[in-house]
Amino acid sequence: MNKYIVKVTLTQESRFDVEIEAPDEEEAESIAKNAVWEDDYADDIRRTLEITDENYESMWIVCDNCGEEYNIHEEECPYCTEYPRDE
């Protein structure tokens, strides 16, 4: 069985409401933005997080012989053919 390197890309989204006291809506949004980046809403974010898109891409295979990674479109490991091991 072969070993592959698979790049997993997940796009996630979180939506929730917070109550903020501020002199106007711009300041309220600024306070919310700062709180997001200071991790004040970490629990809310985790609670409402959902995956909205996903992508999986195999581009590399791990050679059973030498352990090097090579492009899956290669017919054989270029490292083994260029630098064969002494046996």
The pLDDT tens digits of the residues spanning 41-78 come to 999 999 999 999 999 999 999 998 888 999 988 888 88
In the chain, % of residues over pLDDT 70: 93
Cα 86 off chain centre by: 39
Domain presence at residue 17: yes
Domain presence at residue 8: yes
The tokens for 82 are: 């260029």
Number of domains in the chain: 1
Domain presence at residue 87: no
Mean pLDDT of the chain: 91
- What does the CA dihedral 10, 11, 14, 15 come to, rounded to 10 degrees? -150
Question: Has residue 87 got a pLDDT over 90?
Answer: no
Question: Has residue 13 got a pLDDT over 60?
Answer: yes
The residue among 12, 8, 2 whose CA lies nearest residue 58 is 8
Give residue 60's identity as a one-letter amino acid code.
W
The tokens for 56 are: 């999986």
Which domain does 27 fall in, by range? Answer: 3-82
Beta strands in 37-86 (DSSP E): 50-62, 69-71
In the chain, % of residues over pLDDT 90: 70
